[in-house]
Structure 1
Amino acid sequence: MEQVDALWTGILRRWEGWAGVPDLDLPAPPDPVIVAVLATVIGAMGLAAALTAWAERRRSLAGLFAAVVAVLLFFWLWEADRSISWTVVPDSFIELIARILR
């Protein structure tokens, strides 16, 4: 257990040495809920396509492109206020369903 603790401490020290991401002054997304839902759906479909292509020993450029677009959309959400938590995806889906049902 001490080895794991020492390894984790070393990782944290290296992580602290990295420079932070500079503020890019991107405009805020018009509707963060819809962007989060779209990023999740696009990312899931892109990763599914990329993994299916990998299993068939092919290359899915469309799947990789979709996964990259999803990562960029999530980065845009994070860059807007720099405080995304792990609950943003389920909260976004719930809010979108509530909007539809309302």
Structure 2
Amino acid sequence: MNAAYTAPIELPMTIYHAAELKEFMLDVLERGPCVHFDLSAVPEIDCAGVQLLVAARRRAAERQQACEFVGANDAVLATLALLGVAQTLTQAQPSVDTLSALQEPAL
């Protein structure tokens, strides 16, 4: 079994860094069948950042990869909860229903 590739995200996941983060996340998804994005150092996240998470999860599902978001701090979790996606994005294996509910990929 292949080990997970863990990629830390240390920039604010905001509209101001969306283009840079999009490139980074797409590159990381090329690195193997199981990818963990470590969100523990993300100082803030906005709707653009959440769109990146959703799009990464969708891209991975299309490629039949595992894509997990680990280590989310309280600030990130609070934003995800406010937007109603905390449980969806922090669960390890999203269901088909979850993926179909997350439309409009940003990547």
Larger-gyration structure (1/2): 1
Q: TM class, shorter-chain normalised?
A: under 0.3
TM normalised by structure 2 equals 0.27
Larger % of strand: which?
A: 2
Larger % of helix: which?
A: 1
TM normalised by structure 1 equals 0.28
